[in-house]
Each structure stands twice: as structure tokens, then as C-alpha cells.
Amino acid sequence: MSKGLLNDLRIRPRRLRRSEGLRQLTEETVLRRADLIQPVFVKEEGEPEGVESMPEINLLAIPDLLEEGHRLLDLGIRGMALFPNISPNKKDSQGSEALKEDTLVLRAARELREALPEMLLISDLALDPYTDHGHDGLLAENGSVANDPTVEVLVEMAVLASRAGIDVVAPSDMMDGRVGAIRQRLDEEGEQETAIMAYSAKFASAYYGPFRDAVGSARKDESPIDKRSYQLAPSNSRDALRELLLDEVEGADFLMIKPAGPYLDIVRMARERTNLPIAAYQVSGEYAQLHAAAKNGWLDLNSCIMESVLGIKRAGADIILTYFAKRAAALLKS
């Protein structure tokens, strides 16, 4: 192409990419440290214990968890999502440990609330860390997960969590009707200020394996637990939208999509259909695969972290739960 033809090219999008100042001026999606929530794993006692499938992630006893909370605040992260690693001898088929007032996650919540009053505390509501079978609910006689009895337990868990100082309860079980039941019971108990972050579109994903290592809910024989009777099929977007809208009607304060990366179309769909805040969870498998690729020298870890998290924000998420929160916040701060 001759120089004369290019002289008539009036629309040149590259003009706005020419310098760092222009690129920042025209930045469409801005990721903030306040957008990030760090999931943390709490254990009964002992020194920090690494999770082999999740590099840089540790199981923390409560004293170390308090120190971690201070580090997160210093980085500008204002939210922690708590997940317990329960001793195997405390697990049973009913998940009865979940309803004890001195259970691990509630003890951690009380101490965090006293030590870090400015930290937003989010508590997962599900039975899989507490059951010896690893399912998110109680089992019926035929081996299926019983919906309504499970919801009754989740309601009690929500009340206990709220009384322990939890700001946001996050039912992750995908039982029908649990958001409405939790909202009603919290209001009846005078816990109206406690918000609900519903795992509204939680898919039956292959990306959860490292998380199950961290909370100790993986099967001993390493065969996967089939949760397809309550979690969403990866093929179904209309079913996901139905769940999202139902949770909004039932009183959820936030709607969550999990996992994030493989389901950015669902994040965008949710953003276009609701005015509620949208959360997306960049799950353990997403975290592990980036670490594995970086370890092999195939990807630059920091660049991929920022690109992946920014992509989740660009798709429409207001809030991002990610195990990369600390590292991303440090990069944003620098």
C-alpha cells in the first residue's frame, strides 16, 4: 500500500494507545483492590500447613489467621471468605459439627471480629466440610441428597454464623429454596443486617479438586463425588439464569457465579439481567492451572493473574473471590 493512501486514513485507533497516559485515560475496566476477596482455610491448631495442589495457600490455625487478616488489610483487601478444615474424627453423615456453637469456623469468626472489626467476614454455608461422605447436604435413604432437611440445617448454620460476627453468609450448596428460608429465619432472629451472598449459579465443575484437598472433603479413593443432582450442568445457561433470578426474588443481596473463568458468559448474562452486585469465584482449579503453567515456564504468572482477574471484572463481576487476591492486590499496590 502506498504512502498516499495511508495519508487519507483519518480514523486511527492506535492514537489512543500511543502512550501510558493515553492508555490510562481510555481504560474501560478498572480493577481495584477493594474488588477482591481472599478465601482462607482455617484448621484446628499447629503451624501453617501448605496445600500441595494450591501453591502459596496454607491451612492456618486461628492465631495465624489473625495475622493473615492484618496482612490482607495492609494490602487493601477488605474481605475474607472462611472455609474450615475439620478433623476427620469430627465428621459424620449428618455434619453435626456444623451446628455446634464452638465449631472451628465460628471460633475463628469471633476472634477475627474482635481483632479486625473493619474486615468483612464471609462464611460459607455448606455441609461438605463436615460430612464423612463429602456431599453438600444430608443423604436420604436412597443415597440422594435430601433438599428440605439440608435447608433446615443451613438455616441454623446461618443464624449461628451471624451471631458469631459474620457479615455475609454464603450458601454454596445449591439446594432449592435455601436463600428464602435463610433470609426469613435471619430476620425472625433479629439478624436483619446479615447479608446473603448466594452461590446462585454453581456448576458441577471439574475445577474444584484442589479446594477439596484444602478442606479435606476429597474421597479417599480419589474418585470424584457426583454432585450433578444439585449443581448446575456446565452445558446449561438458561438453567443458570433461572437460579440467579430465583435467588434475587428470595432475598439474596449478592449473586455469585462459580467457577468464574469458564463461565464468563454467565457472569455477563447475570450483569445484564439484575441490578444486584455480582460476585464471581475464581476457583482452586483455575488457580492451580496457572501456577502449574508458570512452574513449567510456559506462562508469566503475574501477567496471567492480572489478565484473568481483569477479564472477570470486564465480564461484569463487581466482586471477585480469588486465591490470587493477595498477589493481585500487591501488584495493584505497586
Domain presence at residue 205:
yes
Q: Any catalytic annotation for residue 220?
A: no
At 51, which CATH number?
3.20.20.70
Buried b (16+ CB within 10 A) or exposed e, 314-332: ebbbebbbbbbbbbbbbbb
Integer Cα distance of 283 and 73 in angstroms: 22
> What does the DSSP 8-state code read for residue 206?
G
pLDDT tens across 266-301, in order?
999 999 999 999 999 999 999 999 999 999 999 999
Residue 212 Ramachandran class (φ > 0 left, ψ -120 to 50 alpha, else beta): alpha
pTM (2 d.p.): 0.95
Does residue 17 lie within any of the structural domains? no
Does 18 reside within a domain?
no
How far is the CA of 319 from the CAs of 35, 65, 95, 158, in angstroms? 5, 22, 30, 21
Asked if residue 109 is part of any domain, the answer here is yes
pLDDT at residue 218, as a whole number: 72
Q: What is the mean pLDDT of residues 33-53?
A: 97
Return the pLDDT at 5: 67
Is the CB of residue 103 less than 8 Å from the CB of residue 97? yes
Q: Which of 43, 91, 227, 258 is catalytic?
A: 258
Structural domain harbouring 115: 31-333
Residues 231, 99, 218, 309, CA torsion sign: positive
> Strand 49-51 vs strand 54-60: parallel, antiparallel, or unpaired?
antiparallel
For residue 16, tell me if it sits in a domain: no
Are residues 33 and 76 in contact, defined by beta-carbon separation less than 8 angstroms? yes
What's the number of domains the chain is made of?
A: 1
Is residue 182 included in any domain, yes or no?
Answer: yes
258 is catalytic: yes
Q: Which of 202, 227, 313, 326 is catalytic?
A: 202
* Mean pLDDT, range 63-71, rounded to an integer: 98
